[in-house]
Amino acid sequence: MGKEERLAEVFKALAHPTRVKIVEYLADGEKCVKDIWQELGVPQPTVSQHINILKTAGIISFRKEGVKTCYRIEKPVVVKILKLLEEEVDNG
C-alpha cells in the first residue's frame, strides 16, 4: 500500500463523528473499552466496531489487562490534525 492509500485510510477512519469522539477521548491517555462506551453513551458493540476501524487504520492500539482491553493513541499526529481542523471549523 502506497503513501496516498495509507493517508486515505486514516482519513476514512476519521470520517465518522463517533470515531472522532473516541480519538478525542483517548487523546487524554489510555482508556479501557468500558470507559469509552460509557463516556460516549454509545452501546458497547457499536464502540467495538468503530474501534476496529481505528485499529485497522493504525490510529489506535491496545493492550490486554486481564479481561480488560485498554486503548491508546498510536499516531499522536492524528490528534494534532483534528485540533487544527477543529480550530478552522470554529473560526470559519
What residue ranges do the domains of the chain occupy? 3-91
The 8-class DSSP code of residue 2 comes to: -
* pLDDT > 80? residue 92: no
Cell numbers placing 25: 477521548
pLDDT at residue 27 above 90?
yes
Whether the CA torsion 47, 51, 52, 54 is positive or negative: it is positive
Average pLDDT estimate for 3-7 = 92
Q: Does domain 3-91 have CATH number 1.10.10.10?
A: yes
pLDDT bucket at 24, cuts 50 / 70 / 90: very high
Residue recorded with cell 493517508: 7
